[in-house]
Structure 1
């Protein structure tokens, strides 16, 4: 596998320097650029493409929310991992619904950051325990008298039984290889199911499909 090319956008220079220093020591990673705000990020992406952007939310000139919107329109192939101090559920769920591929807090361990980058690059999404708990709370916060959403709802009516199984396991945070082992199928077969889930749910990527599954009470 070649290098995973990264970009980082954060208005705190010391934080950027620390992240670049930490991750540049990993053989598979290299940095294409640093940016101090969302507008600078968009400008740099136009000049120097990368695989994954590590993106803060609160930045001057253009924040991470607006930058995500523009990136999804102009650079849809670039994956986004939010790295923020904001741990409020509303920020997390909003960014996931916008199609970001992962959400980490700034106090995450270096090991988790490395794992997230690799899994987003290889699988398209990374859901930490923190994000899983946020989505679970969102599910529980729905009104008790809300009409239940089940697998025969429009969102999931076209999914096969095995596609539903794969989606459930993706929501549990399992990787493609782990799902294959659990269901006794090959990783290539799991990849096929993932792609069909994206197509049938109308999601932009597998991360958004997972967020929609939680949002619509599928589990």
Structure 2
């Protein structure tokens, strides 16, 4: 059984110990390393490279946002799940645009943490109800306050009708298999559409693509 290798970066020892205990109870999870700040994580990653990093935002020495930037640049295959108390909508969208794969609040249930880890490994992104509502609020506020034409054309991103269908379902959190079944397409065809959307939007991963779609009113 292949284990999912994890890293946990948080400056609060009590929270880190508790989370480490929760993760250790999952048979195919391996907590590869722990760090109390971003710099400590960066120093350890070259020696022990995880599949997924659970990352706090507010930390001394090097905070979570700067750490996420470094990871995206140097280790783009590592999935990043932010685990924080910050629930501001702008922060959610900002980090998804940076390529963070998931955003969880620290009062999330252990089952959701496990689900998020599995989702980002399998599908590249985890969009829970909190994130989806944050993105919808952001989009609603923008279109209510500023009456302007759809940025679908302003952004110069021209998607086919099928690509728009696939993008909408990705933004709803559906997996490749679920989209395949819903649209009567093969999984390979769905992945082809996903790759073309990434190319057209100039985004690096699914999370960034979803954030871009909401920001530019593509869905």
The bucket for the TM-score relative to the shorter chain is over 0.9
Q: How does 1:37-186 map to 2 (within 5 A)?
A: 37-142=37-142, 144-149=145-150, 151-157=152-158, 159-186=159-186
Q: How does 1:22-33 map to 2 (within 5 A)?
A: 22-33=22-33
Which string of whole-angstrom CA distances, capped at 9 and with x for unpartnered residues, describes residues 126-178 of structure 1? 10000000001100111544422254444431x22211111100111111221
Any conservation in 2 of the 1:7–1:32 contact (CA below 8 Å)? yes
Give the CA RMSD over aligned residues: 1.5
**2:17 aligned counterpart, secondary structure:** helix
Secondary structure of the residue that 2:61 maps to in structure 1?
Answer: coil
Distance 2:8 2:182 in 1: 35
Q: Whole-Å Cα distance in 2 between the matches of residues 176 and 148 of structure 1? A: 31
CA 1:18–1:180 in structure 2 vs 1: closer, same or farther (change >3 Å)? same
The secondary structure found in structure 1 opposite 2:8 is strand
1:20, distance to aligned residue in structure 2 (A): 1.5
- Is 179-188 or 61-70 further displaced after alignment? 179-188
| TM-score, with length taken from structure 2 | 0.94
Contact kept, 8 Å, 2:198 with 2:206, in 1: the verdict is: yes
Report the equivalent of 2:2: 2
The whole-number CA distance in structure 2 between the counterparts of 1:153 and 1:210 is 18
**What whole-Å deviation, never above 9, does each CA across 1:46-65 have from its counterpart, x for those lacking one?**
21111110000000111001
- Partners of 1:25 and 1:193 lie apart in 2 by 37
* CA distance in 2 between partners of 1:105 and 1:144 (Å): 28
Q: Which moved more, 1:69-78 or 1:115-124?
A: 69-78
In the alignment, the residues of structure 2 paired with residue 24 and residue 190 of structure 1 have an alpha-carbon distance, to the nearest angstrom, of 35
Matched position secondary structure for 1:6: strand
> Could you tell me how far apart the structure 2 residues matched to 1:3 and 1:29 are?
5
- For structure 1, which segment, 148-157 or 107-116, has the greater mean C-alpha deviation from structure 2 after superposition? 148-157
What's the counterpart of residue 199 of structure 2? 199
Is contact 1:148–1:217 with CA below 8 Å preserved after alignment? no
C-alpha contact (below 8 Å) 2:7/2:52 kept by paired residues: yes
Residues matched between the structures, number = 218
Q: Distance in 2 between matches of 1:128 and 1:67?
A: 23
